[in-house]
Amino acid sequence: MTFFVILACNNKQSKHHQGEAILVTKRMPNGITKVVGATIDGKKEGMWIEFDDSGRISSSYTYVNDSLLGEEISYWENGKISSRRYLKGNEIQGEWAQYYDFDKNKIAQKGSYKNGEKTGVWEYYIEDGRLNKK
């Protein structure tokens, strides 16, 4: 699995705001990258990627002005998608789904969040894709 991180910096100066983009890379004591992202004027901005202890991607998410916003994707150790959820203002919002580790199209469970709280009907599936319970 290959990921590219593209960062852009607007060097135009304005009398009200000057943005400085800084690439942030946090490493474990063994040298393996743990987190990659960027800050602008000291605030997290854009896509951030986290890695597990073996250096495999474990999740990706987006910051806007130091606040989580947009889709967060978590991954199983085999690189397949573990779950998808949407974040707004650092809270889970809208649909959430978790997948079986052998097939990203096989949903294990799904439901919705509103203001960071579970809401509505949640569905749980068995590995062959049949609904187990609501």
The reply to whether 27 falls in a domain is yes
CATH of the domain at 116: 2.20.110.10
Asked if residue 11 belongs to a domain, the reply is: no
**Which whole number is the average pLDDT over 35-51?**
94
Q: Average pLDDT for residues 39-54, to the nearest whole number? A: 93
- Percentage, residues of the chain above pLDDT 70: 85
Angle at 134 between CA 92 and CA 114, to 5 degrees: 20
With respect to residue 1, please indicate whether it lies within any of the assigned structural domains: no
The answer to whether residue 91 is domain-embedded is yes
Is 6 inside a domain boundary? Answer: no
Q: Report yes or no on 52 lying in a domain.
A: yes
Distance CA 22, CA 8 (A): 10
What confidence score (pLDDT) does residue 13 get?
34
pTM here is 0.76
Range of the domain at 29: 21-133
Would you state the pLDDT for residue 128? 87
Number of folded domains that form the chain: 1
Q: What digits encode the pLDDT tens for the residues 55-102?
A: 999 999 999 999 999 999 999 988 889 999 999 887 899 999 999 987
C-alpha separations of 130 from 57, 95, 107, 122 in Å: 30, 19, 10, 14
pLDDT band, residue 103 (cuts 50/70/90): low
Residue 12: inside a domain: no
